[in-house]
């Protein structure tokens, strides 16, 4: 089975929120449940979710690749995606130093994943938070502001 029984039950509960014959409406919630379990959405997971909802895989893939909150990857990626903004205002505020410190501590470069599969480090573009530069985003949901070389440890602790 591609997903655990617990995840399947969660998806069933999401499907039950919609009228009979409308289970496709639960696609976003189902993808979120699958991503919670797997850490990212692979083509295999997308096909599985499509099967559960009676949808064409391409339609589910379109949803997964359209919304930034989904980590749709052809390749496996880390459980947590850490995106560091490297646009100019952040760079002028020290983003390069922060990025170098992160790379050193994690032992990986841009686009790479730690050997334990915990973190993937991604180079990002302006996140509209230049006033708080330099910034990084944990899993596209939690923003870390005014980062410093010393503050990197706190970010890594937050990732766990
Ligand atoms: S340049 Fe980094 S948030 Fe705008």
The answer, as to whether pTM is greater than 0.85, is no
- Rounded to 5°, the CA angle 70-72-73 comes to 150
**Helix ranges (DSSP H) in 16-147:** 27-38, 43-53, 57-66, 88-92, 95-106
**pLDDT at site 4:** 94
- Considering the domain architecture, whether residues 47 and 91 belong to the same structural domain is answered as no
Which one of 85, 93, 144 would you pick to mutate in the ligand 1 pocket, going by the greatest count of ligand atoms within 8 A of its CB? 85
Q: CA-CA-CA-CA torsion for 82, 88, 94, 97, nearest 10 degrees?
A: 60
Question: Which pLDDT score, from 0 to 100, does residue 76 have?
Answer: 60
**Which atom of ligand 1 approaches the CA of 87 most closely?**
1
85 lines ligand 1 (CB under 6 A): yes
Domain that holds residue 33: 5-66
- Domain end marker among 66, 92, 114: 66
Per-10-residue mean pLDDT of the chain, 160 residues long, equals 93 96 96 90 92 96 89 75 94 97 95 89 92 92 93 89
* Alpha-carbon span 64 to 59, nearest angstrom: 9
Does some domain include residue 72? no
Examine the domain organization and report whether 155 and 86 are in the same domain: yes
> What is the 100 CA–ligand 1 centroid distance (Å)?
17
Give the pair of three-digit tokens for residue 80. 């947590």
Count of domains for the chain: 2
Residue 145 lies in a domain: yes
Statement to judge: residues 134 and 84 lie in one domain: yes
Same domain (yes/no): 62, 85: no
Residue 71 lies in a domain: no
Laid out side by side, the sheet with 136-138 consists of 119-124, 80-85, 136-138, 142-144
Crossing angle between the packed helical segments 27-38 and 5-15, to the nearest 10 degrees: 160
**One domain, residues 155 and 84:** yes
């Amino acid at each position: 089975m591609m997903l655990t029984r617990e995840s399947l039950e969660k998806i069933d509960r999401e499907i039950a929120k919609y009228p009979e014959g409308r289970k496709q409406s639960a696609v976003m919630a189902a993808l979120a449940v699958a991503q919670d379990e797997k850490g990212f959405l692979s083509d295999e997971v997308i096909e599985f979710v499509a099967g559960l909802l009676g949808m064409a895989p391409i339609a589910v893939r379109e949803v997964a690749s359209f919304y930034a909150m989904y980590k749709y990857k052809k390749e496996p990626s880390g459980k947590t995606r850490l995106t560091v903004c490297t646009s100019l205002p952040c760079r002028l505020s020290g983003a390069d130093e922060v990025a170098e410190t992160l790379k050193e501590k994690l032992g990986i470069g841009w686009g790479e994943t730690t050997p334990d599969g915990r973190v993937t480090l991604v180079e990002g573009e302006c996140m509209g938070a230049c006033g708080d530069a330099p910034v990084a985003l944990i899993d596209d949901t939690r923003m870390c502001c005014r980062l410093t070389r010393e503050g990197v440890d706190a970010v890594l602790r937050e990732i766990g």
